[in-house]
Amino acid sequence: MSALSQALTYQTFHFDVVIIGAGGAGLRAALALRQQGHKVAVVSKVFPTRSHTVSAQGGINAALGNAGDDQWQWHLYDTIKGSDYLGDQDAIEVMCQDAPKIVRELEHMGVPFSRQEDGKIYQRAFGGQSQHYGKSQAKRTCAAADRTGHAILHALYQQNLHAGTEIFSEYFALDLLRQNGSDLLICGVLVQNLQTSELSVLWAKHTLLATGGAGQIFRTNSNASINTGDGLGMAQRAGIPLQDMEFWQFHPTGVAGKGMLISEATRGEGGILRNANGEAFMGRYAPKVKELASRDVVTRAIALEVEQGRGCGPAQDHVLLDLTHLPHDVIENRLPGIREISRTFLGIDPLEAPIPIFPTCHYMMGGIPTNLEGQVILPKQPMGANHSEQIAVPGLFAIGECACVSVHGANRLGGNSLLDIVVFGRRAANAIHQALLMAPHELAVTEDTSNISALLQRYQRWLEPANPETELTVFSLKTELQKIMERHCGVFRDQAHMQQAVNQLEHLEHQFAALRLHDQSALFNFERSSALELENLLAVAKATAYSALARQESRGAHSRVDFSERDDQNWLKHTLFYAEKAQLTYKPVNLTPKHHAPFVPEKRVY
Amino acid sequence: MQVLIDRYHPDTSPYTQCYDVDESMLSEGMMLLQLLQHLREQDPSLGFRSSCQEGVCGSDGMNINGKNGLSCITLVRDLGQRIHLRPLPGFAVIKDLIVDLGPFYQHYQAIKPRLAPEPSVAADLGQELLQTPEERAKLDGSYECILCGCCSSSCPSFWWNPDLFPGPAALLAVQRFVVDSRDIQRKERLEALNSATSIFRCRHIQNCTAACPKGLNPSRAIQALKHELLSQ
Amino acid sequence: MIHWQNLRGAAAHRWQRYSALYLAVYTPLLAIYVAQLPEQNSLQNLIGNLFHYCIFGYLSVIAYAFLLVHLWVGGRDILIDYLPRPHLNLGLNLYLLSLFAISLNLGWLIIDLYPY
Ligand SMILES: Cc1cc2nc3c(=O)[nH]c(=O)nc-3n(C[C@H](O)[C@H](O)[C@H](O)COP(=O)(O)OP(=O)(O)OC[C@H]3O[C@@H](n4cnc5c(N)ncnc54)[C@H](O)[C@@H]3O)c2cc1C
């Protein structure tokens, strides 16, 4: 125990690697590192199998070719096209090439994939998938019924139990530890035991962020309440920019009015979208592949149908996803989870009646910028002339939804995120393993040469009681934040709205600065963890609003009414947002895969 | 409408708090979790866990009007005018509706829940371990467990011997691996259950099956395991 | 001495099944046998006849053995459930002892009363 200020004491631990996040990404990396014999700690604010990977439904993409011809090159093409050419082609190439092996490896770890008659992994069609570079529909999504995320997360957790990974379950990561001095060097993390509120310092030679998404910045979302972008907040506070934060995927088929996800698998298995006239309207928006167009396309189609008065229901505020024509056994065996969600939350059995759906905020394409090895990178001279030269932040890695490699660009294809988290989870682990072999020595940082005291000082405010009279609560602020983002940074955007978002977020930030806690209990203090999360949500929302406002074009999920076309001349580049001065800078997109000719941006039609 | 919640904080003695809820704030199709979140906005000290809010992460198991379940998939309107919430029975209470699931997780870990395939085959990433749809179908009903603890917490055999009896969830997990055609440790897994204090503590009163929010049937899985064990 | 950690699982379960089966068949036979006995009879006579003239006596000995098994497995299971762990070994041993004592007593009774 070392004491710093009077009140705050903390315990100290030493590890080779600390991984923050026990979702698919974190657990995959932990397993690889543990199997190499390193001393690994995984920190998670919930018990590992409660991480949001568990909710993933439809499946994971890999060109296994079990259900018809397939090649990783076609997967590469589809992903680049899906990303609206903002994805880095070298990164996407790595992911698509690794995919078959990665999926087979998961299968060997016990993931109970559904099977075809020949005993191989079952693959279904998902949006944006093609054979022969856009010619015909491919079936590339490997599925365990519609519980693929659950199957993968549990298998990874089981493997980690076997490997003996040390897990700090129900510990909240507050901030990254940094070595004082000129260079940015990350050397661990400050965490808090949620049950007891005790603080601990986990020193680590390498720190890996795998904290998942932040869908909670929008009111209607498909995300768990724990998806609050904590990793992004921590990175920002450590001085690291966030990349491509204007790109948020709104999944076309959320349960109307509630937001839970109805997987794309429903459309892959043959589901049809209908408007109030009963018309299967997707034919008008994507004549060739209809329901299986890329998500951004389908989402805009639904939003437009509703906007133009063809929405269903008394308020005309949703459309219908019709599965009633599908054979019953398809729904019962391939989509049991969807049926369960529909029955539970809507009282509707999709065997008998169509499901009311509306787009819901689902996935964050942006995140902490990394290279192909998961190392966090940033421009050497952010505002200088040569801003495209990137350097790695020593000691810091990021993977999974919180990272931006970028393999999803401006729009992610369904089934590519589960792939992303395992591929780059493994790659980052390999890179860390190599780094540990090369430099096995202990950290030279101590309390005095790190930012611990500054972090503890920042934390002090949560020990000050709130004025009992105040109306201001963490809950009211969060609701306000979600409303701002939904109103001003949703599916369709324009200058005026986004400017309002920026202004209102600024105001919210001031209010947040005045926020204190009503509950001072040390035992599972939910108000405090919510406040810590809100701080991160605010950081994410701000990065989103600023980045979106600046990007004067429509690309992928960023769809502007006032700039309705893609503008490769000026905007084929990644955004980087620096929080400290709310500054933006840009870096080029990688357009040169190693083992394939480059894909030149073309008009995107489905 | 009244919501009664059994509250506990180690600094004070336990009590049941009654919240009067104005029915105008209840929306159609509202889940119990939303109601709890609403109550917590007024009283942030109220303790309960939650995460995915759609019944797949298993965080919010609790005892609802005497029956274990997940608050996020329990409709408020089905619960009547008086809702009594208690922490999951059979576990040490940490705070309000938050219990210590440590013993539950330990049992899970103790059954070695991990696929053990033929090592030579497993090392080959060029190949899938094939499984026919029929073989795969055997896993249905056991792999879907979300470890919420509702079953074990409703099991008297588990209450009586929480340290020895693995409980329905862990036994369901055993079954998941025993019936997996890719696993080669079937015998060892069964042998590990062969004691007076393990699987044979189950009397098949089926509380677990009644409690499972995912509609799984641990009791039947345990029966099948016993059968396998006896016919070894 | 019995220790709870050494108690058998599958084997005990199996014996419990066998004994239950045997007793299920034996009990109706016992009822028939008893129904056929003359109304007035001395215990001594009864025991003598049982073992001297018909095989039912031997079936009864087996039934008793199975009953013991059944009582033991059922009883120990109940004790495992209900006794606090620190007293479990004591309880189990006392229970076993009492089963022995009853058997001894019964054996002694039979030998004592056997008329031939
Ligand atoms: C409903 C739904 C369905 C989906 N379906 C699919 C699909 O079919 N196919 C597909 O490819 N993708 C799908 N996705 C996307 C995909 O599931 C996610 O992008 C992916 O699982 C993210 O994994 P992750 O490991 O990065 O993060 P997560 O699984 O979200 O894990 C984050 C981890 O970080 C921890 N953490 C966060 N903050 C802190 C903190 N401050 N301190 C300590 N720990 C912290 C959490 O406890 C958790 O363990 C779906 C997403 C949703 C929401």
pLDDT digits (tens, 9 = 90+) for B85-112: 999 999 999 999 999 999 999 999 999 9
Averaged pLDDT of chain A? 95
* Single-letter code of the amino acid located at A167: I
Q: Check: CB of residue A469 under 8 Å from CB of residue A478.
A: no
* Among chain C residues, CA nearest to B156: C81
- CB distance B125–A101 less than 8 Å? yes
Last residue of a domain, one of A337, A359, A381: A359
CA distance linking residue A26 with residue A43, whole number of Å: 9
Q: Which residues pair with A404 in a beta bridge?
A: A369
Both A263 and A233 in one domain: the answer is no
Q: Binning pLDDT at 50, 70 and 90, where does residue C40 land?
A: confident
- A350-381 CB burial, b ≥16 within 10 A, e <16: beeebbbbbbbbbbbbbbbbbbbbbbbbbbee
What pLDDT is recorded for position A603? 93
Domain count, chain A: 3
pLDDT in tens, A67-83: 999 999 999 999 999 99
Nearest to A523 among B95, B126, B132 (CB): B95
CATH number for the domain harbouring residue A81: 3.50.50.60
Q: Residue A6: pLDDT above 70? A: no
Q: In chain A, which residues have their Cβ closer than 8 Å to the Cβ of B130?
A: 115, 118-120
Q: Is residue C115 over pLDDT 80?
A: no
Instruction: Tell me the pLDDT band of A385, cut-offs 50, 70 and 90.
Output: low
Residue nearest to atom 35 of ligand 1 (CA): A21
- Averaged pLDDT of chain C: 91
Mean pLDDT of A54-74: 97
Residue A584 lies in a domain: no
> For B198, phi and psi rounded to 5 degrees?
-100, -120
Cα-flanking dihedrals φ and ψ of residue A327, to 5°?
-60, 140
Q: Which residue in A383, A41, A26 sits closest to A200, CA to CA?
A: A41
Measured CA angle at C91 (ends C89, C95), to 5 deg:
120
Mean pLDDT of A88-117: 98
Do A401 and A266 lie in one domain? The reply is no
Distance of CA A415 to CAs A60, A295, A366, Å? 4, 11, 17
Residue B194 near chain C (CB below 8 Å): yes
Q: Say what percent of chain B tops pLDDT 70.
A: 100
Question: Per-residue pLDDT for A2 more than 50?
Answer: no
My answer on whether A76 and A42 are in the same domain is yes
Q: Is A472 on the interface with B (CB under 8 A)?
A: no
Sheet holding B67-70, edge to edge: B15-20, B2-7, B82-86, B61-64, B67-70
Residue C81 included in any domain? yes
Cβ neighbours of B197 in C, within 8 Å: 4-5, 7, 9, 80
Query: Of these residues, A147, A219, A237, A295, which one is catalytic?
Result: A295
Residue A58, in any domain of the structure: yes
Q: What is the pLDDT of residue A1?
A: 36
pLDDT of residue C51: 79
Candidates B190, B195, B222: best to mutate against C (most CBs of C within 10 A) is B195
| Residue A249 structure tokens | 């995927």
Q: What range defines the domain where residue A553 resides? A: 452-573
pLDDT range class, residue A5, cuts 50, 70, 90: very low
- How confident is the model at residue C48, as a pLDDT? 81
Distances (CA, A) of B135 to A250, A537, B129, B181, B221: 37, 45, 12, 6, 16
CA distance B201 to chain A (A): 25
Report d(CA B16, CA B8) in Å as an integer: 9
Beta carbon pairs, A and B, within 8 Å: 147
- A258 and A243 within one domain: no
CB proximity B53 to A under 8 Å:
yes
Question: Which residue is it, tokens 């039609």?
Answer: A605
pTM of the model: 0.96
Q: A112 at the B interface (CB within 8 A)?
A: yes
How would you label A548-560 residue by residue, b for 16+ Cβ within 10 Å and e otherwise?
bbebebbbbbbbb
Please give the average per-residue pLDDT across A548-576, as a whole number: 97
CATH of the domain at C78: 1.20.1300
A42 CA to middle of ligand 1, Å?
A: 15
Q: Are residues A429 and A504 in the same domain?
A: no
- Token code pair at residue A565: 């076309």
**Which residues of chain B make contact with C77, given a CB cutoff of 8 A?**
196, 200-201
**What pLDDT shows up at residue A386?**
64
Residues A159 and A197 in one domain: yes
- Looking at beta carbons, which residues of chain C come within 8 Å of B226? 13
Check: CB of residue A339 under 8 Å from CB of residue A351.
Answer: yes
Facing residue for B200 by CB, picked from C4, C5, C13: C13
B230 near C CB under 8 A: yes
| Three-state secondary-structure class, residue B2 | strand
**What is the domain count for chain C?**
1
**If you average pLDDT over every residue of chain B, what do you get?**
96
| Residue A117 and residue A90 share a domain | yes
Domain boundaries, chain B: 2-99, 102-230
Are chains C and B touching, using the cut-off of 8 Å on CB pairs and a minimum of 3 such pairs? Answer: yes
**Tokens representing residue A159 in the block:** 């493997």
- Please give the CATH number for the structural domain made up of B102-230: 1.10.1060.10
Q: Is A295 a catalytic residue?
A: yes
pLDDT at A3 over 50: no
**pLDDT in the model for residue B61:** 98
Which of A196, A233, A207 has its CA nearest to residue A531? A233
**pLDDT class of A494 with cuts at 50, 70, 90:** very high
Q: Is the pLDDT of residue B25 over 90?
A: no
Question: What is the model's pLDDT at position C52?
Answer: 77
Q: What is the DSSP letter of A115?
A: B
pLDDT digits (tens, 9 = 90+) for A235-275: 999 999 999 999 999 999 999 999 999 999 999 999 999 99
Tokens found for residue A82: 């899906």
Q: Do A115 and B135 touch (CB under 8 A)?
A: yes
Contacts of B140 (CB under 8 A, 6+ apart): none
Average pLDDT over residues A442-453: 88
Give the confidence band of A448 by pLDDT, cuts at 50, 70, 90.
confident
In a domain, C4, yes or no: no
pLDDT level of residue B143 (50, 70, 90 thresholds): very high
Verify that A199 and A240 share a domain, yes or no: yes
Rounded to the nearest angstrom, the distance between the alpha carbon of B114 and the centre of ligand 1 is 22
pLDDT in tens, A497-546: 999 999 999 999 999 999 999 999 999 999 999 999 999 999 999 999 99
Amino acid A382: pLDDT: 78
* C-alpha of A334 from chain center: 25
Chain C CB contacts of B90 below 8 Å: none
> Ligand 1: which atom is nearest the Cα of residue A174?
41
Report the pLDDT value the prediction gives residue A7, as an integer from 0 to 100.
Answer: 61
| Bridge partner list, A130 | A137
- Predicted pLDDT at C54: 76
ipTM over 0.90: yes
**Under 8 Å between Cβ of A463 and A531:** no
CA-nearest of A238, A219, A231 to A45 is A231
Test mutation, A111, A196, A225, chain B, max B CBs within 10 A: A225
Q: What is the pLDDT of residues A191-230, one digit of tens each?
A: 999 999 999 999 999 999 999 999 999 999 999 999 999 9
Mean pLDDT computed over B41-64: 96
Whether residues A224 and B57 touch (CB distance < 8 A) is answered with yes
Indicate yes or no: CB of B29 within 8 angstroms of CB of A347: yes
Point out which residues pair with A273 in neighbouring strands.
A321
Q: Which residues line ligand 1 (CB under 6 A)?
A: A 20-26, 43-46, 51-53, 55-60, 148-149, 172-173, 210-213, 222-223, 226-227, 230, 261, 263, 362-363, 400-401, 414-418, 421
pLDDT reading at A470 higher than 90: no
Interface contact A284, partner B, CB < 8 A:
no
Q: Domain limits at C18?
A: 9-113
Same domain, A30 and A50: yes
Q: For residues B101 and B149, is the Cβ–Cβ distance under 8 A? A: yes
Q: Phi and psi (nearest 5°) for A408?
A: -110, -15
Tell whether B229 lies on the interface with C, counting CB pairs under 8 A. Answer: yes
Question: Residue A578 domain-assigned?
Answer: no
User: Could you give the residue ranges of the DSSP H alpha helices within chain C?
Assistant: 10-36, 43-52, 56-82, 85-113
Residues 13-32 of B with CB under 8 A from A: 29, 31
Domain B2-99 is in which class? alpha beta
- Mean pLDDT of the A31-43 span: 97
Alpha carbons B142 and B225: distance in angstroms, whole number = 12
**Backbone φ and ψ of A271, nearest 5°:** -65, 150
Atom 50 of ligand 1: nearest residue by CA position: A56
